[in-house]
Structure 1
C-alpha cells in the first residue's frame, strides 16, 4: 500500500501503538529533549519497543518486540552516529523487513526519519530473544547476549521519596508525553556499543506512531 514519494522512494503507509522504554547516558530528564547538549559530551542510548498493534503496509506488527542501540560522538544533530536494530526471533521475516524499512527513515515517522540522517554507520540487524516487562516507571527489557535496561522511580536524595512526574513535548519527534524515570541499569556490550551506566535518564510511555510522527 503506497502513499507518497520521498525522494526516489515510494513511502509506505504505516502505524503502530507501542510500549516504549528509553535509556541513555545523560542525567535525569536528558537535556537533548529540550534542545540542549548531552551532559557527558556524547550520546549512548538503548531503547526498547513492544508493539501492541499496528502494521506496515499489509504486514501486521502486533506483538513484535525490538530494540535499537545508538551511539553518537557528540550531540545527535552533529552526526557521526552508529545504530543497530535488534528483533526478537518470534518476528517473521516480513515483520523484520518492515521494521528495517521503518528504521531506514525512508517512510517518515518523526524520529524514524530524522535519526538515520545522523548515522555514519548502521550495523546489520541482529535477531536475539527479548524479555520485556512494562509498567509506568518500573520497567525493563533484556536483549539476550547483548544487554539490558532497568527503569525505576527517581528517588529524592534526602528523603528517599519516589519522584512522580511527566514531560510533555507538543512538538516532540520521539514522543509527546512520557513519565520521567531513573535507569538504574543500562548495559550493552555488542560491536561498537560498550555501555555500562547506572542512575541515568529514562522515560517510559505508550506511543502511537504513523508515517507523520508520534501522536
Structure 2
C-alpha cells in the first residue's frame, strides 16, 4: 500500500487525511489462495483509489487492475474479491472501500510486475504505461540509515500490525496519482 498521507496514516488514529483527501495504490501477490473453487495461486492484483475527503465520507473512485495471466474464471474471481463482493457489509475492507466509491471504473487486464522483499521491507510495482511504485524503509534524516517503525492496533479494521515505510507512486490511468515520500 502506498497512500498520500504522512507516515503511519492519520486515518488509523481517527484523524483526517494529511491533505484532506485519500488516494492510494494497493497491490497483492497471491502466493496461495482461492475464491470458491477457483485457484488464484501466483497471481497479482492492484486497486487504485481516490476519495475527495476521508474514506468514510464517500464519493470515491476506484479501478482494479488484474494480472493478464489470469484465466476468465480467475479474472471473475479477482474482480469479485477486489470489489468486496460476497462479503457481509463491513466485514472486509475491500467491501467498505467499494461501498465508499461512487465510481468503479472498468477493470483492466495488464502485465503486473511485483517484487516484494519482506525481510528488507522493500517492494516494487510496475504496470507498464500505468503504474510505477516503490516502497523502502523510512530513512533516518541524519544518518540515512533505515528506520524501522511499526503500528500496532489490537482492534484495527485494516490491520492489526503494520510496518511503516516510505513510498513513491506514479499512476497515469483514469485515477492519476503522484505520491512521493508518503
> What range is the shorter-chain TM-score in?
over 0.9
CA contact (8 A) 2:24 2:49 kept: yes
Task: Please give the per-residue CA displacement for 1:74-131, whole angstroms capped at 9, x wherever unaligned.
Answer: 0000000000000111111111101111223232251022111101100000011111
Match of 1:178 among 159, 162, 169: 162
- Larger RCO (CA under 8 A, 6+ residues apart): 1
Q: TM-score, normalised by structure 2?
A: 0.92
Is 1:151 equivalent to 2:151 in the alignment?
Answer: no
RMSD: 1.3
- Please say if 1:133 is aligned against 2:115: yes
**Paired residue for 1:64?**
43
Q: Which runs of 5+ in 2 are unaligned?
A: none
Counterpart CA distance in 1 for 2:158 and 2:37 is 24
**TM-score, scaled to structure 1:** 0.78
Cα distance, 1:166 vs structure 2 = 1.6
Q: What is the Cα deviation at residue 157 of structure 1? A: 1.2
Using the TM superposition, give the Cα deviation of residue 173 of structure 1 relative to its aligned residue in structure 2, in angstroms.
2.7
Offset at 1:174? 2.6
| 3-state SS in 1 of match to 2:138 | coil
**Unaligned 5+ residue runs, structure 1?**
1-21, 201-215
CA distance in 2, matches of 1:119, 1:97: 20
